[in-house]
Structure 1
Amino acid sequence: MTTPRFRLDQPRDTRRVRAPRYDPEAFGVAAERIARFLGTAKFLVYMTVFVAVWISWNIVMPSSWRFDPYPFIFLTLMLSLQASYAAPLILLAQNRQDDRDRVQGEQDRAQAERTMADTEYLSREIAGLRLGLGEVATRDFIRSELQQLIREMRAEDRQADNATG
């Protein structure tokens, strides 16, 4: 005897309808590409040609071939549908750009802080070296001291020569 798959004395597990899975990054990249295209002159030309052909077809062709007579309700519906998808895609692309700008700004601020800290450190090091150099004998100082010693030795030699001579 096999056990039934579902027992009638226990409640069933609630099965939730799962939303389709998608890659948010890939969707965002696609949205940015579409938004970039919607903002071009090429899109405006294509859309203008499409609407002109649509209207011309539905005015010029015989009435049996017309699919959207004069108030062009179907054309209006198509344009509204296009706009209803375009607006959220453009907003998504703008949000992604804002996120990138925010991250870039944070990185720029961090880099500026590191540069400032490095500059302050180097300034302190240079000031320390200047103070240290004040206590170190420089070449000019040693040269002047040696010249002074030579003058003193020559003066002593002259005095010794004068005293003996």
Structure 2
Amino acid sequence: MAHFNEISQILFGKPSSQLSEIEHRILKYAKERRPLSTDTHAAFDTSLSFGARLADAIARVGGSWTFILGFCAFLVAWVVINSILLVQGAFDPYPYIFLNLVLSMLAALQAPVIMMSQNRQAERDRFAASKDYEVNLKAEVELIALHHKVDDVLLREIVELRSELASLIRQVGQSLPATDRGQEGTEE
């Protein structure tokens, strides 16, 4: 756990006990080298109830061109049947009071269903944004970890180069004649 605290301090600037649930999960995924699931629609849709799925289906149908064109055809047929074909015994004669009642009831039922679907779409968007945040946070964690690895490699190389350089300087100093070493010391 001490290693986890150290990584948390390096990557997030705080101990693991102060990490949020998302940060803790991301750190765990990064440590285990596991990818995050990016299929947000499937993950969100599994949590929907039957009523929520039904409302989404109704909103999907009610907001389609098929519904609009079909309903226009229904209205035209209603007017034609009740105005032309059934002149004497029209079921709903001209001002089409029953048709107005049907339209009002349809609007009264359709509006809340569409609002429920829009609310769920907003929830789906928030869920997707949360997943995007997790993916971005994991990418940032991976980048920081990669920077630390590169920094460690560079520091080791610098140390090795310094020791090689010191060794070369000693070798060059030992291979110079004694008179050159003395002159070299007076010049500096």
Which residue of structure 2 aligns with residue 57 of structure 1? 81
What is the correspondence of 1:65-144 to structure 2 with a 5 Å cutoff?
A: 65-136=89-160
Task: State the secondary structure of the residue aligned to 1:70.
Answer: coil
Corresponding residue of 2:11? none
When residues 62 and 107 of structure 1 are mapped into structure 2, their CA distance, relative to the original with a 3 A threshold, is: closer
TM-score, structure 1 normalization: 0.66
Structure 1: how far apart are the matches of 2:51 and 2:70?
A: 24
* Aligned partner letter, 1:76: N
Q: How far apart are the structure 1 equivalents of 2:127 and 2:66?
A: 32
Unaligned 5+ runs, structure 1: 1-23, 153-165
What is the distance in 1 between the residues matched to 2:89 and 2:160?
Answer: 101
Matched residue pairs, number? 122
For 1:125 and 1:108, how far apart are their aligned partners in 2? 26
User: Offset at 1:25?
Assistant: 0.8
**Structure 1 residues 6-25: aligned runs within 5 Å:** 25=49
Structure 1 vs Structure 2 CA RMSD: 2.3
For CA contacts below 8 A with separation 6 or more, give which structure has more relative contact order. Answer: 2
Which portions of structure 1, spanning 4 or more consecutive aligned residues, are displaced by more than 6 angstroms? none
Q: 1:127 to 1:66 in 2, by over 3 A?
A: same
Question: Following superposition of structure 1 onto structure 2, how do residues 38-53 of structure 1 map, counting pairs within 5 Å?
Answer: 38-53=62-77
3-state SS of 2:49 partner:
helix
Does the residue aligned with 1:91 lie in a helix, a strand or coil? helix
**Counterpart Cα distance in 1 of 2:81 and 2:60:** 30
What TM-score comes out, normalization by structure 2 length? 0.59
Q: Which amino acid aligns with 1:60?
A: I
Max radius of gyration: which structure?
1
SS of the residue aligned with 1:68?
coil
Identity in percent: 29
Matched, 1:28 2:52: yes
- How far residue 60 of structure 1 moved from its aligned partner, in angstroms, is 0.6
